[in-house]
């Protein structure tokens, strides 16, 4: 029998995946907020999710207002966090 409960991808994971895919091109805010059927991620509280990713050590920079770029893909060790944030 097929398992009806599938592992769900979190909003943080979806944001991180998009940032990794885009690389230095980055992602604009509207792409986080645009509903999923229309090509976006459908995440209204993207700032909270980006904050969570930063807290986990991902170096996400706001290059211009409303334009985010992932600088580092691997999480930073706890002893190095103060250098990144």
Burial of residue 59, with CB atoms counted within 10 A of its CB: 0-12 exposed, 13-18 middle, 19 or more buried: middle
Please name every residue paired with 27 in a beta bridge, in sequence order, or none if there are none: 68
3-state secondary structure 14-60: HHHHHHHHHHHHCEEHHHHHCCHHHCCCCCCCHHHHHHHHHHCCCEE
Q: Write the pLDDT tens digit of every residue in 45-83.
A: 999 999 999 999 999 999 889 999 999 656 555 555 554
Domains of the chain: which residue ranges? 11-84
Q: Is the pTM of this model over 0.85?
A: no
Residue 8 is predicted with a pLDDT of: 84
Q: Looking at the domain that runs over 11-84, which CATH code has it been given? A: 1.10.10
């Amino acid at each position: 029998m097929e398992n009806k409960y599938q592992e769900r991808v979190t909003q943080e994971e979806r944001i991180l995946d998009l940032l990794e895919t885009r690389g230095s091109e980055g992602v604009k805010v509207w792409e986080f907020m645009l509903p999923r059927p229309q090509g976006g991620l459908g995440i209204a509280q993207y700032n909270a999710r980006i904050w969570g990713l930063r807290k986990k050590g991902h170096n996400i920079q706001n290059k211009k207002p409303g334009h985010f770029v992932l600088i580092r893909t691997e999480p930073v060790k706890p002893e190095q966090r103060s250098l990144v944030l």
